[in-house]
Amino acid sequence: MTRHLAKIVLFNLALTLAFTLAASAADTAAPTLKLPPYKKVKLKNGMTLLLVERHTVPLIGFHAIIKAGGVSDSIGKDGTASITANLLRKGTKSRSGDQFSQELDFIGGQFNAGASYDFTTLSAQFMKKDINKGLDLLTDVLMNPTFPQDEFAKLLKQRQDGLKASKDQAQAVIGTYFNAYLFSGHPYGRPNGGDETTLAATSRDDVLKFYQSYYTPGNMILAVAGDFSTPEMEKLVTQKFETWPARTSPAINIPQPAPFTGKKLLLIDKPDSTQTYFQIGNVGIARTNADRVYLNVVNTLFGGRFTSMLNSELRIKTGLTYGAGSRFDQRKVPGPFLISTYTKNATTVEAIDKALEVLKQVHEKGVTEEQLKSAKNYIQGQFPPDIETAGQLAGLIADLEFYGLDRNDIDGLYAKINAMTVADAQRVIKQYYPLDNLVFVIIGKASEIGEQVKKYAPKEDTLKITDPGFAVGAGQQAASK
């Protein structure tokens, strides 16, 4: 039992800040922030390699981004990118899935692969002494996967049952329902991991096609961080990867999502609920939005830390919930802005009203000089531990590269934060925080709360938690098949 759930992430997942700082200057001068020196190399086959040293412990971390994610799944085959990533380790030209696991675990290594909306991520970590073996495993799954049919069938069954397990737990699925409802018709509305219908429609050929289209050297960024010397690691990684023949990957264009105008509400009935989970929001900002730093500061105050306006009203002052917060998911094109919390069935309306009141207040009152200063200190005080490890550093520099940003994004950050004024805050609140146009998604016990929540929108859509898929109408498609 903890006092509150893990620190609310201020920026995107894995997107945190790196810096070097003269420790002795910390007490007096304003802190400065600079990424440690890192090297960028373009391999002959088009692969981008990034290298940064970190010598605290004898570990080396790899973070690869393949520039295609769930957005690139074929229509009706949602989950393909994610299944492809999961199957990489399940068989190569020279190893069975079993052998891969044996060899990986034998050296105490870690390997993870998964797909988000914009891209696919592979991350791995090895002890320094095992770097050759580790690199061998990593290159093998990237360059020589065979996607055996029996492993595909096994994973698909696990995924289908995994969906049932997830839907047994509201917190595990509310975000997927929210995205589906908010981004209805846009690629960001599709379930990354697939749903009951799309998984059934996906074949091994779809996986193979996805791999052949998008897993190419020119489509990959590989960041390496840890206990090594840069020239040696550059040589080693180059040798291993330059045998990968160059191929062209199709360009990916994600349309700009349109914010929802008006109000709409989706209620998902989960009859055993003792607590209602809800998310409220609209379309937010892209990762490269020019106002992102200001919004990160403002959202720290609004819903990004323990004493935020939302958590103060919904937890600290009223005890309605264990935690309330808000965030802007920053992606290639604007992702969602959302307020998220939960409360016991009987206080559902009280909690939603309170959340809306806090939203209204931030529009009316903005933030004070004192609050602004507190948020600036908080962000600068909390960043350093977010880029402490090799894995964190590798993740950050790969992320910057993917979004076409560079080290100035980090090196100029503290100056930008410190120059921000109350007027800047008021402007971005007005511009980016929704007020009258809101999308509501609620999971709870419909027989208790269904009537009460109708007041928030002119139209109430409903689903049962056992209905296939995550979108209104998805079940209809399933039934007609």
Partner 1 sequence: MRRLWFYSLITIAAIASTASAQTFDVKTTTLKNGMKVLVQEDHTIPNVAMYTFYRIGSRNERPGTTGISHFFEHMMFNGAKKYGPGEFDRTMEAAGGSNNAYTNRDTTVYQDWFPRSALDLVFDLEADRIENLSFDPKIIASERGVVASERRTSVDANNAGILFEQLYATAYTAHPYQWPVVGWMVDIENWTMDDLKHHFEMGYSPSNATLVVVGDVTADEIFKLAQTKFETIPSHAPPPKVTTVEPEQMGERRVTVKKYAQLPIVMMAYHVPESASPDQYALTLLQTILLSGQSSRMYQRIVDKDQLAIGINGGFGFSFDANLFNITAQPKAGVDPVAVEKAVYEELDRVKREPVTDQELEKARNIVLATFYRQMSTISGRANTLGAYEVFFGDYHKLFTAVDNYNKVTKADLQQVAQKYFGEKNRTVATLIPEKPPEKTDAPKPAAPKSDPAKN
Binding to partner 1 in span 92-111, by CB under 8 A: 97-98, 101-102, 104-110
Residue ranges in 277-316 that form contacts with partner 1 under rule CB under 8 A:
277, 305-307, 312, 315-316
* Residues linked to residue 122 through DSSP beta bridges, in sequence order: 64, 113
Quote the tokens at residue 343.
């409360």
Closer residue to partner 1, CB minimum distance, 127 or 405: 127
> Which of these, 116, 114, 78, lies nearest to 330 by C-alpha position?
116
Place of tokens 């900002």: 285
- Each as own residue / partner, the long-range contacts of residues 376-381 (CB below 8 Å, 24 or more positions apart, any chain) are 376/297, 376/417, 376/418, 376/420, 378/300, 378/305, 379/10, 379/296, 379/297, 379/300, 379/417, 380/31, 380/33, 380/414, 380/417
Closer residue to partner 1, CB minimum distance, 369 or 436: 369
Given 53, 130, 196, 409, the residue binding partner 1 (CB under 8 A): 130
Return d(Cα 265, Cα 103) in angstroms, integer.
50
- Amino acid letter, residue 371: Q
CB 369 to partner 1: min, Å: 12
Place of tokens 């620190």: 7
Q: What are phi and psi of 52, to 5 degrees?
A: -145, 135
CA gyration radius, the chain = 23
Q: Is 382 in the site for partner 1 (CB under 8 A)?
A: yes
Range in contact with partner 1 (rule: CB under 8 A) among 187-195, 328-336, 425-433, 473-481: 473-481
Closer residue to partner 1, CB minimum distance, 142 or 314: 314
Range in contact with partner 1 (rule: CB under 8 A) among 1-9, 66-74, 242-250, 352-360: 1-9
Given 390, 400, 438, 441, the residue binding partner 1 (CB under 8 A): 390
Given 50, 65, 131, 359, the residue binding partner 1 (CB under 8 A): 131
Closer residue to partner 1, CB minimum distance, 157 or 430: 157
Query: Phi/psi class of residue 369: alpha, beta or left (left: φ > 0; alpha: ψ in -120 to 50)?
Result: alpha
CB 288 to partner 1: min, Å: 27
Closer residue to partner 1, CB minimum distance, 219 or 341: 341
CB 365 to partner 1: min, Å: 18
Closer residue to partner 1, CB minimum distance, 26 or 246: 26
- Amino acid letter, residue 381: G
Range in contact with partner 1 (rule: CB under 8 A) among 71-79, 140-148, 379-387, 406-414: 379-387
**Positive or negative, the Cα torsion across 405, 406, 410, 414?**
negative
Q: Is 4 in the site for partner 1 (CB under 8 A)?
A: yes
Closer residue to partner 1, CB minimum distance, 243 or 274: 274
Given 13, 37, 44, 168, the residue binding partner 1 (CB under 8 A): 168
CB 89 to partner 1: min, Å: 8
CB 180 to partner 1: min, Å: 15
Residue ranges in 308-367 that form contacts with partner 1 under rule CB under 8 A:
312, 315-322, 342-344
Return d(Cα 374, Cα 406) in angstroms, integer.
28
Closer residue to partner 1, CB minimum distance, 20 or 213: 20
Give the E-state strand segments of 155-240 in sequence order: 220-226
Range in contact with partner 1 (rule: CB under 8 A) among 243-251, 284-292, 329-337, 372-380: 372-380
Judged by CB under 8 A, how many residues of this single chain contact partner 1?
105
Q: Is 149 in the site for partner 1 (CB under 8 A)?
A: no
Given 365, 373, 430, 455, the residue binding partner 1 (CB under 8 A): 373
Q: Any alpha helices (H) in 202-253, and if so which ranges?
A: 204-214, 230-241
**Positive or negative, the Cα torsion across 449, 470, 181, 120?**
positive
Residue ranges in 30-69 that form contacts with partner 1 under rule CB under 8 A:
31, 56-59
Q: Please check whether residue 340 is in contact with residue 323, taking contact to mean a CB–CB distance below 8 angstroms.
A: no
> In Å, how far from its chain's centre is CA 323?
20
Given 250, 259, 385, 458, the residue binding partner 1 (CB under 8 A): 385
Given 42, 157, 430, 455, the residue binding partner 1 (CB under 8 A): 157
Return d(Cα 282, Cα 260) in angstroms, integer.
6
57-to-53, 54, 283, 289, 464 alpha-carbon distances in Å: 11, 8, 41, 36, 49
Residue ranges in 220-249 that form contacts with partner 1 under rule CB under 8 A:
232, 235-236, 239
Cα–Cα–Cα angle for 375, 376, 382, rounded to 5 degrees: 85
Residue ranges in 10-29 that form contacts with partner 1 under rule CB under 8 A:
19, 21, 23, 26-27
CB 289 to partner 1: min, Å: 25
Residue ranges in 403-432 that form contacts with partner 1 under rule CB under 8 A:
none
